[in-house]
Amino acid sequence: MIRIEPRNANSAIFSYGVPILSAFIALILASIPLWFAGAPVLISYVEMAKGVFGSKFAFSEMLTRATPLMFTGLAAALAFRAKLWNIGAEGQLYLGAMAAAAIGTGLIEAPAFILLPLIIAFGCAAGSVGMVVPALLKTRYGADEVVTTLLLNFIIIIFLQYMLEGPLKDPMGLGWPQSSPILDQGMLPPLMERMRVHSGLVIAIVCALIAQFMLARSVWGFKLRAVGENVFAARHAGIKVNRTILSAALISGALAGMAGVSEVAGLKGYLTSDLSPGFGYVGIIVAMLAGLSPIGVVISALFIASVFVGADSMSRAMGVSSYLADLVVSTSLLCVLIGGFFSRFKMVRTSLKGQN
Amino acid sequence: MVEIFQILLSESFWAASLRIATPLIFGVLGALICEKSGVLNLGIEGIFVAGAMSGWMAVWLGAGLWGGVLVAALAGGFFGLIHAILTVPLGLSQHVSGLGVTLFATSVSYFSYRTALPNVSSPPRIEPFRPLEIPILSELPFIGAVFSQQTAMTWLALFMVGLVWYVMNRTGLGVAIKAVGDNPNSVDAQGLSVYGLRIGAIVAGSALMALGGAFLTMSAFDAFFFGMVNGRGWICIALVIFASWKPGKALLGALLFGAFDALQVRMQTEVGAIIPSQVFLAAPYILSIVALVIAARRAEYPRALLTPWFKGQR
């Protein structure tokens, strides 16, 4: 007989080892689809690595891709810590992006030190609204936030299409559904010359540090963790559960909204309906791979961005579909889930005889 | 207003409602079976994609239409099994595992499609299911016209409603599945396998979900497109709560939804000039949220839903 028993202590080897091993296994498993696609496996891996570390430009592209993933990863990590299943980061990202485009394309003419904070504030606020509504539907009516946030993603993207065909449409855009360009003084400054990586990355890392501190050291962080770990015990201890859930929703939505701000006002400079290739959903994987730790989110976002950027460049060189990246990333989530099980439980061989 | 009545009285409107409802019927029934056994299956959206892609691909490779249906069901069962292993014996978070399965199934489907057809801009078409003429039924006034436009897959969906109802309410297996979703300890005490029942229910439910996807590529359309599932799986998760986990109500919910969707398409042509088309596009999703909020208060969830169960641990 094999019995499953919880491990007594969560050892450091497991909490750091499992995500790293999972990422590694997912990369190795990618050789199966590569082989199916008929590509020489080893050369493909070399091409993938070159696509990330091959040049200064390649590396900066990886950092550019990691930036929105850090924001959406933090959005998922903080909400999941409170067992608030925010699956709506994709929609909240677009709400943030729409707010940034609405404010930054000429509505307000102001110098950078006024305009930039305004764009960020409105972008975050828009993202917050996108998460507070489902959180209220959960606390007031008991409507499952998984379903409402998922469905809101679709509603918000349809709303985005309306905005891009109407109020936000660029009159000079030759009929393309895109917004006018963000004013120069509304753009997040670039970090390196002639590269696309921008100061959104710095903001993301600062957000992660603050979140890490708040979660580990502040009263709010304690309440959040308490609600997430045992809602009955938290209520018994006098923690206002609904208020804590709403505060988590507010911050989670703001971070997702910031992902949209950073893409519009940091990278693209204007808003289109294909701004995000699923950053909101990938953020969930980033968060899980990080074990819901904010600092971990930074590292796992770098890893997942490497997979995407590396696979993109490999697929151009080898003619393999770039959906390989999504395959590797989703496999790494399944691996880390299974690994997480073995770090929390152990298999114990039990004999039927001699049990006293 | 007169236009609405004209729409509601037209045969084509009801035929379209039933057609739109068909994938949802499969999806809601599948989700219902999983949740009745105590496991939420958010893999549904990806399983829809996998069913749509694999069924279509099998037909395109020459398997025949029913061969395609079988392949889709097997693909659904496979991804269901992954979710089952992660959530039942391993007892992992059903939310995260389900989303993982959705992302995995979607990327496997998209990657396989692109690898099989690297350089096509418009996907190759298959010969889809044709509308089925039922001898006496098709001669009836009105009803005949509504039903004679439906394909064999819609009939299969309607048959499944009856089958699922019968199994859940009239057989020992159904009693056991419901019990394992309410009180797994009691099932264990009866000497039945909690793991076996739950894994079986998830695999069977996932196979049904995949048929909903297969309907899209093999009956509603004749080709596979990226993003064609478009949230239908998530809508099913909302509808199953609305249907309070009852097959008959699931049929009703899917039909209401189909009717609403068919109505909005027709309204769009009537008042499209005044109201932006996006209002109509968003309507089905908004309706799902409204239905969820209304139903959530009095929803009686299976009592052990989302709670993992380990053998020998009370």
ipTM for the complex shown: 0.91
CB contact under 8 A, A334 and B312: no
Report which secondary-structure segment, H or E, holds A289.
Answer: helix A279-289
Length of chain A: 356
A181 inside domain:
yes
Gap from A187 CA to chain B (nearest CA, Å): 30
Q: B302: which chain A residues are within 8 Å (Cβ-Cβ)?
A: none
Closest CA to B160 of B12, B301, B21, B63: B21
CB contact under 8 A, B289 and A143: yes
Q: What are A24-64's pLDDT values in tens digits?
A: 898 899 899 999 888 899 999 999 999 999 999 999 999 99
Contact A85, A292 (CB under 8 A): no
Q: b/e map of A159-191 (b: 16 or more CB within 10 Å)?
A: bbbbbbeeebbbeeeeeebbbbbbbeebbbebb
Between B90, B106, B289, which is nearest A341 by CB?
A: B90
Query: Is A143 an interface residue toward B (CB < 8 Å)?
Result: yes
The C-alpha atoms of residue A164 and residue A158 are separated, in whole angstroms, by 10
Query: Is A142 an interface residue toward B (CB < 8 Å)?
Result: yes
CB contact under 8 A, A338 and B86: yes
CB contact under 8 A, A285 and B103: yes
CB contact under 8 A, A323 and B110: yes
Closest residue on chain B to A36 (Cα): B115
B-facing residues of A in 296-335 (CB < 8 A) are 319-321, 323-324, 326-327, 329-331, 333-334
pLDDT in tens, chain B (314 residues): 677 788 888 888 999 999 999 999 999 999 999 999 999 999 999 999 999 999 999 999 999 999 999 999 999 999 999 999 999 999 999 999 999 999 999 999 999 999 998 877 788 899 999 998 888 787 788 888 888 889 999 999 999 999 999 999 999 999 999 999 999 999 999 999 999 999 999 999 999 999 999 999 999 999 999 999 999 999 999 999 989 999 999 999 999 999 988 888 888 777 766 788 888 889 889 988 998 998 888 888 899 998 899 887 65
What are the residues whose beta carbons fall under 8 Å from the beta carbon of B121, sequence distance 6 or more?
A: none
Q: b/e map of B180-199 (b: 16 or more CB within 10 Å)?
A: bbbbbeebbeeeeebbebbb
Between B104, B282, B299, which is nearest A330 by CB?
A: B104
Query: Is A338 an interface residue toward B (CB < 8 Å)?
Result: yes
Q: A323: which chain B residues are within 8 Å (Cβ-Cβ)?
A: 107, 110-111, 114
Question: So what's the pLDDT on residue A355?
Answer: 46
Residues in a beta bridge with B151:
B131
The C-alpha atoms of residue A78 and residue A283 are separated, in whole angstroms, by 12
Q: A324: which chain B residues are within 8 Å (Cβ-Cβ)?
A: 111
Closest residue on chain B to A338 (Cα): B86
Cβ–Cβ pairs < 8 A, chains A and B: 129
CB contact under 8 A, B111 and A154: no
Closest residue on chain A to B90 (Cα): A341
CB contact under 8 A, B282 and A333: no
Q: Tell which of A35, A155, A329 to mutate to test the B interface (max B CBs under 10 Å).
A: A155
A356 inside domain:
no
Q: Burial-class residue A196 by CB neighbours within 10 Å (0-12, 13-18, 19+).
A: middle
Between A162, A321, A330, which is nearest B115 by CB?
A: A321
What are the residues whose beta carbons fall under 8 Å from the beta carbon of A349, sequence distance 6 or more?
A: A1, A2, A3
A190 inside domain:
yes
A355 inside domain:
no
B-facing residues of A in 148-167 (CB < 8 A) are 148, 150-155, 158-159, 161-162, 166
Q: B235: which chain A residues are within 8 Å (Cβ-Cβ)?
A: 151
CB contact under 8 A, B118 and A321: yes
The C-alpha atoms of residue B303 and residue B189 are separated, in whole angstroms, by 17
Closest CA to A247 of A222, A279, A224: A224
Contact A134, A145 (CB under 8 A): yes
The C-alpha atoms of residue B183 and residue B303 are separated, in whole angstroms, by 7
A158 inside domain:
yes
Q: B289: which chain A residues are within 8 Å (Cβ-Cβ)?
A: 137, 143, 147-148, 151-152
CATH among 1.20.1260, 1.10.30, 3.40.50, 1.10.3470 for B8-118+148-296: 1.10.3470
A295 inside domain:
yes
Count how many domains chain A has.
1
Gap from A195 CA to chain B (nearest CA, Å): 30
- For residue A135, CA distances in Å to A131, A286, B142 come to 6, 22, 45
Q: A82: which chain B residues are within 8 Å (Cβ-Cβ)?
A: none
A157 inside domain:
yes
Q: In degrees rounded to 5, what are phi and psi of residue B93?
A: -55, 120
Q: B90: which chain A residues are within 8 Å (Cβ-Cβ)?
A: 337-338, 341
Q: A137: which chain B residues are within 8 Å (Cβ-Cβ)?
A: 289, 293
Mean pLDDT for each consecutive 10-residue tract of chain A (356 residues)? 68 77 89 90 93 94 97 97 95 97 89 93 98 95 92 95 89 82 91 91 98 95 93 92 96 98 95 93 93 95 94 89 90 88 75 50
Question: So what's the pLDDT on residue A9?
Answer: 61
Structural domain boundaries enclosing A129? 2-349
A72 inside domain:
yes
User: What single-letter DSSP state applies at residue B138?
Assistant: G
Domain regions of chain B by residue span: 8-118+148-296
Contact A326, B107 (CB under 8 A): yes
CB contact under 8 A, B104 and A331: yes
Query: Is A46 an interface residue toward B (CB < 8 Å)?
Result: no
Gap from B313 CA to chain A (nearest CA, Å): 9
CB contact under 8 A, B297 and A142: yes
Query: Is A3 an interface residue toward B (CB < 8 Å)?
Result: yes
Q: What is the CATH number of the domain that holds A34?
A: 1.10.3470
Collapsing DSSP states into helix, strand and coil, what is residue A345?
strand
Gap from A252 CA to chain B (nearest CA, Å): 17
What are the residues whose beta carbons fall under 8 Å from the beta carbon of B140, sequence distance 6 or more?
A: none
